[in-house]
Amino acid sequence: MSSEQNKTFFIETFGCQMNFHDSEKVAGSLVSQGYRQVQTVEEADLIFYNTCSIRDKAEQKVFHRLNDYKKLQKQGKQFAVIGCVAQQEGERIFERAPHVSLVAGSASYSHLPEMLVQIGRGERATGLDDRQTDETFETEFTARVSPHRGYITIIEGCDKFCAYCVVPYTRGRERSRTVESVLDEARQIVQGGLTEIQLLGQNVNSWADPEGKHTFATLLAEVGRVPGIRRVRFTTSHPRHFTRQIVEVLDAGPTLCDHVHLPVQSGSTRVLTAMQREYTRDEYLERIAWIRQAKRELSITTDIIVGFPGETEEDFHQTLSLMDEVQFDGIFSFKYSPRPNTPAITMQDAIPEEEKTRRLNVLNEHQREIQRRNYQRHVGQVVEAMVEGTQHKLGQVPGRTTQNKPLNFTIPEGVAIPAVGSYVRVRVIRAHPNSLVGEMLAAEPTQ
């Protein structure tokens, strides 16, 4: 028996869904090497932090964690920092936190086994990428955490270089997986008992077929046709590469969810140009018009940054007016945070912190009103919900509509509580700005 077989690890993840899914793959490949995953730092021999550096606050979290647990090194525990902060800070992490023995960016995860041997010998190990790699991290061992959704990374890295964004520097250049490997993974997920799939990529629709036959849209259609699949989602789409063909494929594919996440970032063409987003306000609105022309109603969500350097009150008002025009079903809103290595860090006319906070509050209040009306429209409808969890204390079961809206529902007397991952029909009876409330219909679950 090798010593790895006695070793335990704990992994904590920060950041986006890509990171959460990377952790599932890292954990799976460690388990396949004989390590055992545990749920607390105390039980672990090896502690992994899978980190995010999208905004300064996210980055600081990992250094707080490392500081909190520094004393555990004396008990022989080893620390590994992986993910975006690892790639960004590299060996500087050893200076800031000398108790760390492994630092690895996401483009080097396939080399983790060798790195673990190295730290087992008491050496330090690093796996850092210089945007050269064309490797993707594919493993047949994925420790899937979600009981109802299987994630598949179809494209890693980012070649977009938006002026504010750290991702091209932390996740390396774009590498797309082959259609066959994506479809194989989809079939495996179904065999494992899941019927919902989410395709992932920093720019999921920049996916480029290594064999040159498919577009992102036709890949999406293929995934939707895998037998046994009921719901397919995809994030994140970049407006520059969002085609009419994607909408046609959504129209033709009943398993493809009624939702598009299309980050706009700003409603002002001037700011979009400064951000190097490669589209104008009008081009973004043109894509929204395509989505609105779909045969079934698709929900649209977005990401918005306020307080980008040089953003005037007029620019900000253009973002508010774009929100009025589009009537988003949901937004993720952020205050601009200067990031190392990015072009925006040297830009003039920084917006003061208090002003960023004011704009963020105005923006969120504006969206709340839009969403209050948007969610209210569903009252009275009967919709399909996927069951995402077990019954809350209040007696409600958490579910989600195909439009990606949370729908918590009660169960009629005498009806069994539906299993996580099953689908039920629910009548919507109330709406909040961020969730719907309903009653499950007495009929049996649709699956």
Q: What residues make contact with ligand 5AD under the rule CB under 6 A?
A: 54-55, 164-165, 263, 265, 303, 305, 334, 336-337, 339
Q: Name every residue whose Cβ is closer than 8 Å to that of residue 366 and which is 6 or more positions away in sequence.
A: 320, 323
Asked if 171 is part of the footprint of ligand SF4 (rule: CB under 6 A), the reply reads: yes
Q: CA of 147: how far to CAs of 36, 143, 419, 422, in Å?
A: 20, 11, 10, 11
Which element (helix H / strand E) includes 119? helix 112-120
Report the residue number whose CB is nearest to ligand 5AD. Answer: 303
- For ligand 5AD, the closer of residues 222 and 303 by Cβ is 303
Shortest Cβ 264–ligand 5AD spacing (Å)? 9
Report the residue number whose CB is nearest to ligand SF4. Answer: 15
- For ligand SF4, the closer of residues 201 and 253 by Cβ is 201
Asked if 167 is part of the footprint of ligand SF4 (rule: CB under 6 A), the reply reads: yes
Shortest Cβ 337–ligand 5AD spacing (Å)? 4
- For ligand SF4, the closer of residues 195 and 202 by Cβ is 202
Asked if 54 is part of the footprint of ligand SF4 (rule: CB under 6 A), the reply reads: yes
Beta strand spans in 236-336 (E) = 259-261, 299-306, 330-335
Asked if 166 is part of the footprint of ligand SF4 (rule: CB under 6 A), the reply reads: yes
User: Of the candidates 84, 162, 272, 387, which one interacts with ligand SF4 according to CB under 6 A?
Assistant: 84
Q: Are strands 175-176 and 155-156 parallel, antiparallel or unpaired?
A: antiparallel
Out of ligand 5AD, ligand SF4, none, what residue 374 binds, judged by CB under 5 to 8 A for its kind, is none
- For ligand SF4, the closer of residues 259 and 339 by Cβ is 339
Q: Are strands 125-127 and 423-431 parallel, antiparallel or unpaired?
A: unpaired
Mapping DSSP to helix (H, G, I), strand (E, B) and coil, where does residue 1 land? Answer: coil
Out of ligand 5AD, ligand SF4, none, what residue 170 binds, judged by CB under 5 to 8 A for its kind, is ligand SF4
Backbone angles phi, psi at 15, to 5 degrees: 100, -145
Out of ligand SF4, ligand 5AD, none, what residue 207 binds, judged by CB under 5 to 8 A for its kind, is none
Shortest Cβ 173–ligand SF4 spacing (Å)? 14
- The span from the CA of 27 to the CA of 117, in Å, is 16
Shortest Cβ 208–ligand SF4 spacing (Å)? 19
Out of ligand SF4, ligand 5AD, none, what residue 303 binds, judged by CB under 5 to 8 A for its kind, is ligand 5AD
Asked if 342 is part of the footprint of ligand SF4 (rule: CB under 6 A), the reply reads: no
Taking CB under 6 A as the binding criterion, the range among 16-24, 97-105, 184-192, 304-312 that sits at the site for ligand SF4 is 16-24
Largest CA distance in the chain: 67
Out of ligand SF4, ligand 5AD, none, what residue 423 binds, judged by CB under 5 to 8 A for its kind, is none
Q: Find out whether 79 and 99 touch, Cβ atoms under 8 Å.
A: yes
- The span from the CA of 320 to the CA of 317, in Å, is 5
- The span from the CA of 28 to the CA of 142, in Å, is 4
- The span from the CA of 234 to the CA of 202, in Å, is 10
Shortest Cβ 88–ligand SF4 spacing (Å)? 8
Asked if 15 is part of the footprint of ligand SF4 (rule: CB under 6 A), the reply reads: yes
- For ligand 5AD, the closer of residues 120 and 338 by Cβ is 338
| Both structure tokens of 142 | 């994925």
| Both structure tokens of 252 | 């033709």
Shortest Cβ 73–ligand SF4 spacing (Å)? 25
Q: How many residues bind ligand SF4 (CB under 6 A)?
A: 14
Backbone angles phi, psi at 105, to 5 degrees: -85, 165
CA angle 434, 321, 402 (to 5 degrees): 35
Shortest Cβ 433–ligand SF4 spacing (Å)? 25
**Helices of type H across 177-296:** 179-191, 216-224, 244-252, 269-274, 281-292
Taking CB under 6 A as the binding criterion, the range among 50-58, 111-119, 265-273, 296-304 that sits at the site for ligand SF4 is 50-58
Q: For residue 260, give the nearest of 231, 299, 293 by alpha carbon.
A: 299
Give the CA dihedral 334, 335, 341, 345, nearest 10 degrees: 150
Mapping DSSP to helix (H, G, I), strand (E, B) and coil, where does residue 140 land? Answer: coil
Out of ligand SF4, ligand 5AD, none, what residue 220 binds, judged by CB under 5 to 8 A for its kind, is none
- Burial degree of 9 (CB within 10 A; 0-12, 13-18, 19+): buried
Residues in the chain: 447
- For ligand 5AD, the closer of residues 190 and 363 by Cβ is 363
- For ligand SF4, the closer of residues 18 and 440 by Cβ is 18
Chain residues in the site for ligand SF4 (CB under 6 A): 15-16, 18-19, 52-54, 83-84, 166-167, 170-171, 202
